Amino acid sequence: MNFSNGCWLQKEGCACFSPAEVSFTRMEEAKVTLIAPTSHILKRGDTLGGINLTVEISCPAPEVIRVRTCHYMGVREDGPAFELAMDEGAEVFAEDGEERLVIRNGSLRLEIEKNPWHMAYYWEDTPLCASGKRDLAYIKTDWKGDMYVKSDDKDAYMRQRLSLGVGELIYGMGERFTPFVKNGQSVDIWNEDGGTSTEQSYKNIPFYLSSRGYGVFVNHTGRVSFETASAAVDKVEFSVAGESLDYFLIGGGNMKAVLGNYTALTGRPPLPEAWTFGLWLSTSFTTDYDEATVMSFIDGMLSRGIPLSVFHFDCCWMKEFHWTDFIWDEKVFPDPEGMLRRIKEKGIRVC
């Protein structure tokens, strides 16, 4: 979701509250907590009001840094939630200096400049991405003043923007039917039955992979909006509705290693049987077909030396206007058991 109007302005009605500095730091074994006011604190009276953000940083898996930013904490989580293989008690290796906080997890490093606020990620000595002024932000889209902010407001969003380098390419976000490289695209992570030729898709995943050798997983099961070099050509922006944003920056040094670390965190599927990787042939919305049509498809492939693993019947094997009762149309398929047996005798499975 794009909240900006060009380079300098917000859209009408929008207000952006971004960390200005680190007010104080609390160091614990398994996490570091930062209090980040969204305006500079010049005197004690400046702490009486305004919007503050709480930033929690942890290292729940090797070469992974988790950043959770909250405005109002304690908001009820209705779920569902991703099941992640992480160690929430893993020790955080942090160096808290006067001007800078440094957090390390293997070769992955996060540096936070305290005043003014600035975040930068590194793999060893190589810069990966950064987040500066007005990037990490609490957004209100119907702003009336801080005296009117409530924890159940429906116009609240959390956003992060991470920088893109020259020539850096972004991939991922699950099943997509748009160009493979995601630069220049606006992507909403929300499963919809929109066909196979639009920006909608069936299997959305809030994860992207950079050609620089890092990935970002946004830990939200609801709608996640990505602006990938679209709202700003030098940034990837991701936002969620509500009072908190939780994301993992995943290192690895190269794209293959990043995917390994990502799947170690989110889970890996078992290896399917070998036949599932074979060629599947479908009637694919052929609306007028019978056994002769089906067998002509199958025999046509075999006569050309093209092996088939599975034949898929699309919905028109059922009666007209009966697309969900799973009863064969006996007018077109008078002997479905015999037909399925004849297909299987050719060594082909049926779906």
Among 266, 282, 308, where does a domain finish? 266
Question: What pLDDT was estimated at residue 316?
Answer: 87
pLDDT tens-place values along the chain, 351 residues long: 899 888 888 898 899 999 999 999 999 999 999 999 999 999 999 998 889 999 999 999 999 999 999 999 887 877 899 999 999 999 999 999 999 999 999 999 999 999 999 999 999 999 999 999 999 999 999 888 776 776 667 899 999 999 999 999 999 999 999 999 999 999 999 999 988 899 999 999 999 999 999 999 999 999 999 999 999 999 999 999 999 999 999 999 999 999 999 999 999 989 999 999 999 999 877 788 999 999 999 999 999 999 999 999 988 899 888 888 999 999 999 999 999 999 999 999 999
Are 30 and 70 part of one and the same domain? yes
**Same domain for 278 and 259?**
no
The verdict on 125 and 247 lying in the same domain is yes
Shared domain check, 70 and 36 = yes
In this structure, the answer to whether residues 10 and 135 fall within a common structural domain is yes
Q: Same domain for 88 and 150?
A: yes
Residues 302 and 155 in one domain: no
Report the domain count for the chain.
2
Residue 144 pLDDT: 80
DSSP one-letter string for 196-219: SSSS-BSSEEEEEEETTTEEEEE-
Q: Give the domain CATH number at 209.
A: 2.60.40.1760
**Residues 6+ away with beta carbon under 8 Å from 343:** 294, 295, 298, 311, 350
Query: Of 266, 285, 312, which residue sits at a domain end?
Result: 266
Q: Are residues 97 and 158 in the same domain?
A: yes
State the burial class of residue 212 (Cβ atoms within 10 Å of its Cβ: 0-12, 13-18, 19+). buried
Residue 86, helix vs strand vs coil: coil
For residues 177 and 187, give the distance between their C-alpha atoms in angstroms, rounded to a whole number.
11
Q: Which residues of 273-297 are buried (b: 16+ CB within 10 A; e: fewer)?
A: eeeeeeeebebeeeeebebeebeeb
217 burial class (0-12, 13-18, 19+ CB within 10 angstroms)?
buried
Residue where a domain terminates, one of 266, 291, 318: 266
pTM assigned to the model: 0.89
Cβ atoms of residues 65 and 110 within 8 Å: yes
Q: Are residues 101 and 245 in the same domain?
A: yes
Distance CA 238, CA 2 (A): 9
* Strand 280-282 to 310-312 pairing: parallel
CA-based diameter of the chain, in Å?
A: 86
Q: How far apart are CA 199 and CA 178, in angstroms?
A: 6
Are 197 and 292 in a shared domain?
no
Contact indicator for 226, 187 with CB cutoff of 8 Å:
yes
- Please tell me the predicted confidence (pLDDT) of residue 151: 61
Q: Are residues 176 and 37 in the same domain?
A: yes
Domain hosting 328: range is: 274-350
